[in-house]
């Protein structure tokens, strides 16, 4: 076989067979030049390749939300299965950045435990196997985990109130500073989150009460305390308008009564309920056990509860005098608290009041 030394064909004085000796310095120079031209061409193509954009990020005041995890309630309640504003706002932002990509928030209760059943999870269908969608999904993950101008790590995820997200068999949890860890799932592309990213939100994130949308985190509980109401008919938790500061001790006082049915005498407070002519703290049902009808205060996976101490014990751990109860808490991280009545909400009416005061 003949190998031409130039595009003009072999020179009459050149051999027509491939030489067995080492190339001449002239040929080496030609080869080096060809390699240089090829490298420059590839570099030029890389420089011209479009950069996948990231969503627009606002400017923030000082402060940021902590990494926080608030697990989904079990059992879920059908009345709480509706889209919350935080996941909807993120969906709209992603669509504004990348064009409309299918996404879903709420799923009806099916016996499983998921933030989807509470309307505070978003599935964004950016399939990892799709060469057009994959770069967009990876750009969003990089954006979520990026640091802000204040030096806060994983800033966007924290400011959005995201507690974890899953993509392509990897989980990025707030409890692990949003570093990826293997997600056990088998081979199904949906169960493994190969065909979508799943985002779960804290309650503050679900309600858009986070710095990404507000410009700053919720303010700390003021010196005079803060008060908010918990409607007995609402399955979705009420969120406090202020947040507790990490390491400080607070007294939470619950007061008031509500109706848990339209039947006569169906009255309860934060800890006890009427049973005929007396009150009891021991009422139970199959759904909530002995916590049935109690007021549950939450904030993360290891905070709060539904056990209250009566300010005046009129018997059996109840306070029929003024229905005031207290709980002392000391949060590990700064966070707002939530309140919800543990009941099936058939015929419920009225509300309880929560007052939060820092210990002196």
Q: What is the pLDDT of residues 275-301, one digit of tens each?
A: 888 999 989 988 888 899 999 999 666
d(CA 148, CA 155): 6
Q: How many CB atoms lie within 10 A of CB 181?
A: 11
Q: Is the same domain home to 157 and 278?
A: no
Q: Are residues 132 and 199 in the same domain?
A: yes
For 264, the domain range is 226-358
- The answer on 205 and 92 residing in a single domain is yes
* Mean of pLDDT values over 86-110: 96
Q: Is 98 inside any structural domain?
A: yes
Distance CA 6, CA 278 (A): 106
Does residue 255 sit in the same domain as residue 326? yes
Q: Is residue 284 part of a domain?
A: yes
272 with 151, same domain: the answer is no
Assign 89 to helix, strand or coil: helix
CA atoms within 13 A on the CB side of 23: 10
Please check whether residue 49 lies inside any domain of the structure. no
Q: Identify the pLDDT of residue 156.
A: 98
**pLDDT digit string, tens, across residues 143-186:** 999 999 999 999 999 999 999 999 999 999 999 999 999 999 99
CA 108 to chain centre: 19
* Mean pLDDT in residue range 103-108: 96
Residue 302 pLDDT grade (very low, low, confident, very high; cuts 50, 70, 90): low
Q: What is the DSSP letter of 299?
A: S
- The reply to whether 123 and 206 lie within a common domain is yes
Domain stops at, among 214, 240, 263: 214
Eight-state DSSP code of residue 44: H
- Whose CA is closest to 194, among 205, 202, 186? 186
Do 238 and 334 fall into the same domain? yes
CATH number at residue 290: 2.60.120
pLDDT of residue 301: 60
Q: Quick one: average pLDDT of 206-227?
A: 97
Q: Is 253 found in the same domain as 291? A: yes
What pLDDT shows up at residue 282?
A: 87
Non-local (6+) Cβ contacts of 44 within 8 A are none
In a domain, 50, yes or no: no
Give the chain's domain count: 2
Alpha carbons 166 and 2: distance in angstroms, whole number:
58
Which of 250, 167, 203, 252 has the alpha carbon at shortest distance from 71?
Answer: 203
Residue 279 belongs to a domain:
yes
In a domain, 63, yes or no: no
pTM: 0.84
Whether the per-residue pLDDT at 20 is higher than 60: the answer is: no
Same domain, 210 and 262: no
Contact call for residues 144 and 156 (beta carbons, < 8 A): yes
Do 107 and 157 belong to one domain? yes
Q: 187 and 251: one domain?
A: no
Q: pLDDT per residue over 33-73, tens digit each?
A: 444 444 444 444 445 557 999 999 999 999 999 999 999 98
Residue 43 lies in a domain: no
Q: How confident is the model over 95-122, as a mean pLDDT?
A: 95
- pLDDT at residue 308 tops 60: yes
Instruction: Give the per-residue pLDDT at 109.
Output: 87
Residue written as token pair 């939470």: 252
Confidence of residue 5 (pLDDT cuts 50, 70, 90): very low
Which pLDDT does position 21 carry in this prediction?
A: 37
Out of 193, 214, 235, pick the residue that ends a domain. Answer: 214
Mean model confidence pLDDT for the chain: 88
> Is 33 part of a structural domain of the chain?
no
Longest dimension (CA), the chain: 120
**Last residue within a domain, chosen from 214, 235, 252:** 214
> According to the model, what pLDDT value does residue 223 have?
95
The radius of gyration of the chain's CA atoms, rounded to the nearest angstrom, is 30
pLDDT at 30: 52
Q: Are residues 232 and 197 in the same domain?
A: no
List all residues 6 or more positions away from 144 whose beta carbon is below 8 Å from its beta carbon.
154, 156, 157, 160, 162, 165, 172, 178
Res 303: pLDDT: 80
């Amino acid at each position: 076989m003949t190998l031409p030394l130039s595009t003009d064909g072999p020179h009459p004085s050149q051999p027509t067979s491939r030489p067995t000796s080492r190339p001449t310095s002239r040929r080496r120079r030609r080869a080096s030049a060809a390699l240089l031209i090829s490298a420059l061409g590839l570099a030029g193509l890389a420089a011209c390749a479009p950069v996948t954009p990231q969503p627009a990020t606002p400017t923030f005041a000082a402060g940021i939300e902590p990494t926080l995890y608030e697990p989904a309630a079990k059992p879920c309640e059908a009345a709480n299965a509706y889209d919350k504003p935080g996941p909807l706002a993120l969906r709209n932002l992603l669509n504004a950045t990348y064009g409309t990509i299918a996404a879903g928030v709420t799923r009806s209760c099916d016996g499983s435990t998921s933030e989807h059943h509470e309307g505070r999870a978003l599935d964004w269908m950016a399939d990892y196997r799709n060469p057009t969608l994959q770069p967009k999904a990876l750009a969003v993950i990089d954006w979520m985990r990026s640091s802000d101008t204040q030096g806060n790590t994983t800033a966007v995820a924290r400011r959005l109130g995201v507690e974890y997200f899953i993509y392509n068999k990897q989980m990025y949890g707030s409890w692990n500073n949003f570093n990826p860890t293997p997600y056990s799932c088998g081979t199904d592309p949906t169960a493994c989150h190969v065909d979508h990213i799943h985002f779960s939100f804290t309650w503050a994130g679900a309600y858009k009460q986070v710095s990404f949308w507000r410009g700053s985190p919720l303010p700390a509980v003021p010196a005079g305390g803060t008060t908010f109401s918990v409607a007995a008919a609402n399955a979705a938790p009420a969120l406090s308008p202020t947040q507790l500061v990490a390491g400080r001790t607070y007294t939470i006082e619950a007061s008031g009564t509500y109706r848990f049915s339209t039947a006569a005498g169906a009255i309860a407070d934060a800890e006890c309920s009427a049973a005929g002519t007396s009150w009891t703290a021991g009422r139970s049902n199959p759904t909530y056990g002995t916590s049935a009808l109690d007021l549950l205060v939450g904030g993360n996976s290891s905070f709060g509860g539904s056990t209250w101490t009566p300010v005046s014990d009129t018997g059996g751990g109840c306070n029929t005098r003024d229905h005031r109860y207290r709980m002392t808490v000391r949060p590990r991280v700064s966070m707002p608290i939530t309140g919800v009545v543990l009941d099936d909400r058939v015929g419920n009416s009225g509300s309880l009041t929560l007052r939060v005061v820092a210990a002196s």
